[in-house]
């Protein structure tokens, strides 16, 4: 399916109008209308803004439409799968500075959890057994 058709079908299916999408994305209503009707191409940065403005369910529906229903296995994915995909997306798009910040935060959290676990183990070891 053509990208413009899949996008149009998605907006119709989710009851999203061009005015609302324009307000949320910053892309003009006219551009949205021309794109939906396959009368004009759209730049990737504008298209990215449009996708970002869609609810996650609408984005997934759009991908299914675009894929020719080859992604129907998505209905078997759990919320945890989507969260993992979101994390991976963030990590792969992160800058070097972002990665350093993430690694420091993970190291700090790991240290906190490890210290808490060791404290619990010490408390369990020092608790006398009842007879």
Phi-psi category of residue 69: left, alpha or beta, with phi > 0 → left and psi -120 to 50 → alpha: left
- 59 and 85 fall within a common domain: no
Q: Is 63 part of a structural domain of the chain? A: yes
Half-sphere exposure of 62 (CA within 13 A, CB side): 23
Q: How many domains does the chain have?
A: 2
pTM over the 0.85 mark:
no
- 96 and 115 fall within a common domain: yes
Q: For residue 55, what is the domain's CATH number?
A: 1.10.260
> Is residue 71 classed exposed, middle or buried when 0-12, 13-18 and 19+ CB atoms within 10 A define those classes?
middle
pLDDT of residue 31: 95
Q: Is 131 part of a structural domain of the chain? A: no
Tens digit of pLDDT for each residue in 66-88? Answer: 887 565 665 666 777 777 777 77
Identify the domain boundary among 21, 47, 69: 69
When pLDDT is averaged across residues 117-123 and rounded to a whole number, the result is 82
The domain in which residue 23 lies consists of 3-69
pLDDT of residue 99: 87
- 63 and 16 fall within a common domain: yes
CB 45 within 8 A of CB 51: no
């Amino acid at each position: 399916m053509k990208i413009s058709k899949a996008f149009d079908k998605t907006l119709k299916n989710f009851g999203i109008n061009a005015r609302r999408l324009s307000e949320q994305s910053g892309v003009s209503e006219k551009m949205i209308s021309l794109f939906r009707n396959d009368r004009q191409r759209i730049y990737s940065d504008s298209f990215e803004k449009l996708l970002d403005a869609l609810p996650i369910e609408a984005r997934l529906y759009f991908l299914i439409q675009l894929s020719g229903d080859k992604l129907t296995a998505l209905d078997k994915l759990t919320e945890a799968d989507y969260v993992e995909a979101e994390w991976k997306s963030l990590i792969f798009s992160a800058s070097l500075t972002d990665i350093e910040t993430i690694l420091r935060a993970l190291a700090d959290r790991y240290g906190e959890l490890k210290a808490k676990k060791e404290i619990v183990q010490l408390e369990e070891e020092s608790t006398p057994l009842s007879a």
